[in-house]
Structure 1
Amino acid sequence: MAGQWCGMLPDKDGLNGGGGVQDGHPAEDPSVTLFREYLRLKTVHPEPDYDAALKFLERMAEELALPMKKVEVCPGRVVAIISWIGSRPELKSVVLNSHTDVVPVYEEHWKHHPFAAVKDADGNIYARGAQDMKSVTIQYIEAIRRLKAAGKRFSRTIHLTFVPDEEVGGHKGMETFVKHPEFQKLNMGFALDEGLANPTNAYTVFYGERNPWWITVRCPGSPGHGSRFVENTAAEKLRRVINSFLEFREKEKQRLNTSECFTLGDVTTINMTMVKGGVAYNVVPAEMDVSFDLRIPPTVNLQEFEEKIKVWCREAGEDVTYDFAQKHMDQNLTSTDENDPWWQAFSSTCKAMNMTLKKEIFPAATDSRFIREVGLPAIGFSPMNLTPILLHDHNEYLNEQVFLQGIQVYERLIPALAGVAPLSAEL
């Protein structure tokens, strides 16, 4: 029941999926045990325990016998980098990126404690971050562990980057890191970052993102007593602004799932998120503000779209203005052309594993956008098929068999990417 935590010990609950037997049950795969340990670290906003994550990652680096570098990009915000140097380190590297933070929880809506990493009888592991994206972090690490144990080595260097603050916009994380000298030293050629689960048998792959615009429209008006028909009020202007934004929202909603637009990443979403204004019931306010969250596909002309917003403000009334809390203008897409060597390595490896790939524009925002903004290719990919999309949702979970299969996927993808032949620019 929601709000009542399972009292079973984390390493005893549910059925397990490894070899051997413990207490009458099959022993849990060590990779699953490690995943659950990482999930129990409370790297949750508003006060994520980043120190615990860094200690965990230092331990992983020691186990892998690989060097780890810590780069403080902002006060209290550290990017950790574990590096597996290639036989030809002058070639462009492959970066496996993940973020260490997770979003807040409403504990009363969870069937198990959100930081206990409880595994049920079906092998579903419940925890905040199970999908977004602690699973991918451990899959990277475990794939590298297996490849190293098998004596593999590749021409290109592989960097695992672990960044903070992705869930609060990345401003003190990846956005700052891409401008840091240590980022330049990575000599990045290609990056993998997070994607989304897919409820079907297919795997979703993201090659671009919608631009997030957070906008506040300010509507000044004539103040006065609440008993009169005051002319030119802030509320009247506010209503016109809201109508313009929400009418456009409805048109985009209608376009979704038509022959023109198949996914959320193909349309512009607009959501009204905050309204401010007023001091008392009987006082007509001198200003009212309304804020919107917009996500705009890379196919939209951003300058023309902003002109549309200016028209809406002019039509709403005199002196209506707007400003941005966030305004991303980058529309770079990562090539999914079969002639592109990075995409060819990625897609052909997936095809060899009989994986069906579904290419999409990411509907929200990830750290990939900052990588693409500096002109580097990045693919958003989390190997979670047959799984409902539960990032940021109550009762976020991932099945242990899907998790373990993801490790095998990276065991194949990492060698393919790190083995890409020298590009013409590298010769």
Structure 2
Amino acid sequence: MEPACITRFREYLQVNTMQPNPDYAGCEKYLKKQAEEIGLEFKSLELVPGKPTIIMTWRGFDPTLKSLILNSHTDVVPVFEEFWDYPPFSATRVPTDNGDFRIYARGSQDMKIVGSCYLEAIRNLKEHGKNPLRTIHLLFVPDEEIGGEDGMMKFLHTPEFKEMNAGFALDEGIANPGPELYAFYGERTNNAVKFTCRGNTGHGSQFITDTAVSKLLNISRELTEFRNEEEQRLISKYGEVNQSNLGFVTTVNLNIINGGVQVNVVPDNFQAEFDIRVSPDTDLEEFNLWLKGLAEKYDSEIEYPHEVVRSGVSDIGPSNKFYHKMVEVLDAKELKIINAIFPAATDSRYLRAAGIPAIGISPLRNIPVLLHVHNEYVTESLFMEGVDIYTDLIHELSNLEG
């Protein structure tokens, strides 16, 4: 018989919140029902029409203490359904040979499992008569998968956020094929850039000088050389590239090229967009001056398609009592963590920029990394373990004194 918590989890996965047209209305309806069943305050803020930021609140005994934020995003990335073994929003439950079940769905790893674990953990605590000392706020925010500008970024400028008096946040992590849990205390800065190169035009049969594409190729060559140097630096230090060390270097990938009208016409412009993730120990201003210098060197224009938010890192030293309580809880469960820099971007960068320490952690271990991949799944046992982990984490973190 399917456990009730699994049924609720699957219902959440079945709400199609896929970009670019997420069913946020259906998501809000589902979350409101959960809040009512559990007994949590519920508020929906449409900072952008049709994109609700959901706040659930469990009031603590001492409202003067800094509150705990449990953050998750509600949107998921697109799918190529023809490559899936099961419909990606069916949340199909498939038995395994060892008596477990796999739940296949887009968003199962990234990151509806975490939001569901929060809810089930608080449901458990309330059913057992536990109450928090500190106020707990659960945030379910939109549009993280497309940058978060209409979600967390806008929410941080609202009176509702200021009233939270936040002191610490938990957010998403990433799966680990090994037995440890990743604890991400920082992440790289999303520093995507777009170069527009302009040059001489003419017939495609000629040796035309100073073409747009020659300038683009020169920029790409220099960025590729930098990319290779960073990769070798990582390999030299760690011996391999993996999720635990990727965040310590800067990556560059040319992902979009636009230009050309027909094959026998040399185009007067080419555009190229590079996904660049800058490591926390890199001087961002100095790095962007170098990029600007590349544009000037090859008589090209540079722009940033998205606002660049310096991600920063959260202190995990002795002064961060929340982090050390988290480690204590996990140690008691004989769970080891790997402290790392998140290689991509999460909403934690906005929280850290607002001065709130944030740790990204997910209960995903001994499982392949399947975020944004075909046939994304989690196991039922991992979900149940995650509920157990968050039950203790939330109880202990929300009852820290002082």
TM-score tier (shorter): over 0.9
Q: Which runs of 5+ in 2 are unaligned?
A: none
Distance in 2 (alpha carbons) for counterparts of 1:251 and 1:267: 10
Q: Select 2:175's aligned residue among 181, 197, 206.
A: 197
8 Å CA contact retained: 2:311, 2:350: no
Aligned to 2:325: 345
Q: Where does 1:130-169 land on structure 2 (aligned, <5 Å)? A: 130-169=108-147
Which range moved further: 79-88 or 259-268?
Answer: 259-268
2:347 to 359, 367, 371: 367
Task: Output the amino acid matched with 1:418.
Answer: S
* Residue 269 (structure 2) pairs with residue 295 (structure 1): no
How far, CA to CA, are the matches of 1:247 and 1:127 in structure 2? Answer: 39
Report the counterpart of residue 336 of structure 1 in structure 2: 316
Q: Distance in 2 between matches of 1:80 and 1:235?
A: 47
Question: Which residue of structure 1 aligns with residue 246 of structure 2?
Answer: 264
Distance 1:74 1:322 in 2: 29
2:10 equivalent to 1:42: no
Distance 2:325 2:52 in 1: 31
Q: Could you report, residue by residue, the CA deviation over 1:381-404 in whole angstroms, capped at 9, with x for unpaired residues?
A: 111111111000000000000110
Using structure 1 for the length normalisation, give the TM-score.
Answer: 0.90
Does 2:190 match 1:208? no
In the alignment, which residue of structure 2 is the partner of 1:63? 37
Counterparts of 2:283 and 2:387, CA distance in 1: 39
Q: Which residue matches 2:257? A: 275
Of 256-265 and 406-415, deviating more is: 256-265
1:120 match: secondary structure: strand
Distance 1:213 1:357 in 2: 28
- In 2, the alpha carbon distance for the partners of 1:369 and 1:298 equals 11
1:227 counterpart = 2:205? yes
Paired residues of 1:214 and 1:327 also in contact (CA < 8 A): no
Q: Which of 293, 301, 311 matches 2:293?
A: 311
Provide the aligned length of Structure 1 versus Structure 2: 394
Match of 1:9 in 2: none
Q: Secondary structure at the match of 1:387?
A: coil
8 Å Cα contact 2:309-2:350 kept in structure 1: no
Deviation of the 1:185 alpha carbon: 1.4
SS at match of 1:257: helix
| Farther-moved stretch of structure 1 (177-186 vs 139-148) | 177-186
**For the Cα contact (< 8 Å) 1:302–1:329, is it kept in 2?**
no
Cα distance between partner residues in 1 of 2:309 and 2:165: 25
User: What is the CA-CA distance between 1:327 and the residue it aligns to?
Assistant: 4.6
* Residue identity matched to 2:224: L
**Cα distance, 1:264 vs. partner?**
0.9
SS of the equivalent of 2:281 reads coil
- Residue identity matched to 1:154: P
* Shift of residue 148, structure 1, vs aligned partner: 0.4
Q: What is the identity percentage for the equivalent residue pairs of Structure 1 and Structure 2?
A: 44
Distance 1:105 1:84 in 2: 35
Name the CA distance, whole Å, in 1 between partners of 2:307 and 2:289.
14
What stretches of structure 1 of length at least 5 have no aligned partner? 1-26, 423-427
Task: Kindly provide the CA deviation profile for residues 218-257 of structure 1, in whole angstroms up to 9, marking residues without a partner as x.
Answer: 1111111222211211111111011111111111122223
Whole-angstrom CA distance in 1 between matches of 2:170 and 2:164: 14
Q: Secondary structure at the match of 1:258?
A: helix
Aligned to 1:92: 66
Deviations 1:287-341 (CA, angstroms, capped at 9, x unpaired): 11111000011110112211222333344x3x21211112524242111113421
Give the match's secondary structure for 1:325. Answer: coil
Given that 2:69 and 2:169 are in contact with CA atoms closer than 8 Å, whether structure 1 keeps it comes out as yes
8 Å Cα contact 1:269-1:294 kept in structure 2: yes
Residues 61, 67 of structure 1: 8 Å contact kept:
yes
Return the offset for 1:414. 0.5
Structure 2 SS opposite 1:364: coil
- Measure the CA separation in 2 of the matches of 1:328 and 1:357: 29
Q: In the TM superposition, what are the counterparts of 1:405-420 in structure 2 within 5 Å?
A: 405-420=385-400
* Residues 197 and 388 in structure 1, CA contact (< 8 A), matched pair in contact too: yes
Conserved? CA contact 1:93–1:188, under 8 Å: yes
Q: How do 1:3-42 residues align onto structure 2 when only pairs under 5 Å count?
A: 27-42=1-16
Spell out the pairing of 1:181-196 with structure 2 (5 A cutoff). 181-196=159-174
Equivalent residue of 2:34, what SS?
Answer: helix
Q: What amino acid is aligned across from residue 135 of structure 2 in structure 1?
A: T
Letter in 2 for 1:50: Y
Residue identity opposite 1:118 in structure 2: T
- Report how far residue 139 of structure 1 moved: 0.5
TM-score of the pair, normalised by structure 2: 0.95
